[in-house]
Structures are given as structure tokens and as C-alpha cells.
Amino acid sequence: MGYFPFFVDLEGREGLVVGGGAVALRKLQKLLPYGPRLTVAAPELLAEIEALPGLTRLRRSFAPAMLEGKGFVIAATDDREVNRGIAALCRERGIPVNAVDDKEQCTFLFPALVKRGYLTVGVSTAGASPSAAAWVGRRVSERLPEDFGELLDYLASLRPMVRKRVAEENRAAVFARLFSACMEEGFPLKEAALAAVLEGAPGMGKVYLVGAGCGAADLITVRGLRLLERCGAVVYDDLLDQALLDAAPEGAEKIYVGKRRGRHSMAQEDINALLIAKAREGKEVVRLKGGDPFVFGRGGEEALALQAAGIAWGYVPGVTSAVAVPGAAGIPVTHRGVSRSFCVVTARTADSADGLPENLEELAHLPGTLVFLMGLSRLEEIARGLTGAGLPPDTPVAVIGGKNAPRTIRGTLGDIAERAREAAAPAVIVVGGTAGMDLRG
């Protein structure tokens, strides 16, 4: 069972560190930024400990009287039995104690710490692996902007003004919008941007159309992930990696609007209304889509609806399946000497009698690579239409189908329909010279 991470105010609190070596030094360096009044006791002290400011130094061995008035104790000598004796005395007196490298003797543990000004992140493995905790701490630190501490200082400086100018019931939404604006635009905010946040419609949020990329969760952009990590609601369809939802905050709404078990997806008009409603609740909404929102993702329709409703919105591109899926199969959509351009086509349209693209004849005469999305069920008609429009039957074709482990089926316009009868949806169809290439590493 893990340890609950209480955050304790150490400002002015009396603490004792017993030991004068490298371990004691590390503990002191962790504690001092939080303002405790520390006493360090040991017959000999490292020069680095001697140089630390604000310490009371007792150059002698531990004595029980040193525990008087202490709020916490760290036993950090190089003698395990001495540390255990100190820990036993502390437990008897109800004093929180940490005995280094001896979890069973501790009543509290030191976490791996990440500190940026007002922000403190503590990581603990309950003593199972301090190295693992340190590794997680480094990953957290790498993700944080270097100036995050300064950002918190700036936001703290705005709080008195917000309290003065904004009604109490609207403050939480304004504070959330200030943070989002600073993360998106930088800080300090320009006067006009600050005024827009403070004077905007009470509780009004913002919607971000975010491309999740195509495939693994880590193909989302850094910007998209950061928005996901702080959103108040995420509205999503059939993602290629559901692990992305785990990045949303614990309290964020997670609203599914895609297809499941044969059910039709939510009507686009209803999705538009949902996005508007959630923004009007004051939430920062991530509309998470596989691939890119503006590549047959109906992102444009959602953007127009948001604009008409007066809702602020933003766009974060994603890796489109039209490029990523062929690339994963070793097929570049462009390649010097083979294809200098590519055209992405939806294979399903409501604007023609048979549901196929109306311009197959034009497509057949385009140079470069043709990429058809959502076309597996119409593969035979597409192949017949392209050959009927003049593309040679021996033109290379690849069908990359399936969700979790896509399978590539290769052939030509003349035989691909027969070869791909067992292909799994969803699928990307590539037509042209590059479809015959295999550049997998």
C-alpha cells in the first residue's frame, strides 16, 4: 500500500537532522527551501553543511535531549543501530521520523521532489524503489516549462485584482481561463488579452479541436497533450489508443460520441450543440479526434458552429492517417522519381448516386499518389472506376487495414479487390507507384 502525500507547511517549524555526511547534506538541501528552522547534530560536519545558511549546528553526538521541541527528525548517521535508536525514541514521543534507508523505522518518507516556485511535486514508491521515484520525478521535470515558477508568481499577483473585479461565483472560471491563456499565449498577458479574460462572458470556456494522431498515444502533439492534461471535458470518438483518455484530469468529463457495437455515431448537429453547451458551462473542452480534425474529421463544421455561437476555439493539428498509416507500412506518399504529389480522397460521399467520389475520372489522370480513406467496402467499385477512367490495371495498390495491428495487402488495380476480401476495417487504400514500395526498417 502506498503513502498518502500530505503537504505540510514547514515554515518556521523546528526540525533535527542527525548526521554530518553526504546523506544528511541531501536531506538538508531538500528541506531548506521550505523554510524550517533546522538543527544538525554530528561530531563532524561536511564543509558543504558548514556552508549552508540558517542552520543551528551541534558538533557532538546525538543525545535524547536534542529531541525537545522538535516537530520532525531525520536520522542520517552512518550507523544503522544509532538511527534505529533515534527512530524508536521519536515513535515513543510521537515525533515524525525518517531513518535513512530503513523504511520499517520511518513514520514518513522523503519523496523525489520537483520544485518550481510555488509548485511542488512529490513522487514516492513507498520505499519500493527510490530510483524509480527519481526517474518519474525527472520525467515530470522535463515536461514542465522552465519558467513555470515565474508563471505561478504572475498568477498569484493577479489574484487580488480578480477578487476585486470578479464576482465570487465566477472567479474559479476566470482563474482557469487566466492559466489557460498564459499557457497558450505566454505571460505576462498583454493588456487586451488580460481584459478579455476578466471581462469575458461569465463562465465562458473554450473549445480546442485536437488531432490525436494516428496509432499510439504518444503520436499526439505536445500541445495537444498539454491541453488534454488540463481540460474540464473531453469529447471523443473512436480513438486508436484509449490510453489518451487517461491523460485527462481525474475530474474531467469524458463524453463518447463515436460508434460502438454497431450503434450510429451522434449526429453532427448534436455534437456541435454539446461542444457549445460544455463551453458555456465554463469548461475548457478538448474535442479529441483521431488523425487530424480538418482531414475528413468534420472539424470545419464544428468550428463554424462554435463561431456562430460566439465560443472561442482553437485548432491543434494531428498526424493524419492518410500519411501515417501508409508510412507505417513502408509506403511513402511521395518519393522522388515516383510521386511528387498526393491526393487524399474520401471514398464515401452523400453527394453522388452511388456514394462514390464523383471525380474518379479526374483522379485517374492526376500525377502522384491517391490515398482513399473509409473506402474498404467500396474497393471493387473504386478499382473498376479508376481503370475504366484510364489508369492501367497493373497500377500498384496497397490496402492497410485493421485497428490494433494493421495488415498490409498489396496488389494492383486489377486484382486488389479479390486479394483484400479478408482485410479488416478501418482501412487506408493507396494507389500509385509508391504503393509498390516497402521501406519498413
Residues labelled as active-site residues: 237, 259
Q: Is 112 helix (H, G, I), strand (E, B) or coil?
A: strand
- CA–CA gap between residue 276 and residue 285 (Å, rounded): 9
- CA–CA gap between residue 183 and residue 128 (Å, rounded): 35
Long-range Cβ contact pairs of 79-83 (< 8 A, separation 24 or more)? 82/18, 83/18
* Distance, CA of 235 to chain centre: 15
Q: What one-letter code names the amino acid at 355?
A: G
The answer to whether the CB of 371 falls within 8 A of the CB of 345 is yes
What DSSP character marks residue 101? T
Question: Residue 240 is placed in which grid cell?
Answer: 486508436
- CA–CA gap between residue 395 and residue 340 (Å, rounded): 16
Using only C-alpha atoms, what is the Rg of the chain?
30
Burial class (CB in 10 A: 0-12, 13-18, 19+), 74: buried
The answer to whether the CB of 277 falls within 8 A of the CB of 224 is no
* Distance, CA of 424 to chain centre: 30
Question: Residue 293 is placed in which grid cell?
Answer: 480534425
Long-range Cβ contact pairs of 195-202 (< 8 A, separation 24 or more)? 198/161, 198/162, 198/165, 198/166, 198/174, 201/310, 202/167, 202/169, 202/170, 202/173, 202/282
The answer to whether the CB of 119 falls within 8 A of the CB of 148 is yes
Phi, psi for 48 (deg, rounded to 5): -65, -35
* Distance, CA of 243 to chain centre: 10
Q: Is the peptide bond before 202 cis (omega within 30 degrees of 0)?
A: no
Q: Is 260 helix (H, G, I), strand (E, B) or coil?
A: strand
The answer to whether the CB of 297 falls within 8 A of the CB of 373 is no
Residue 93, Cβ neighbours under 10 Å: how many?
A: 13
Sign of CA dihedral 166, 171, 175, 180: negative
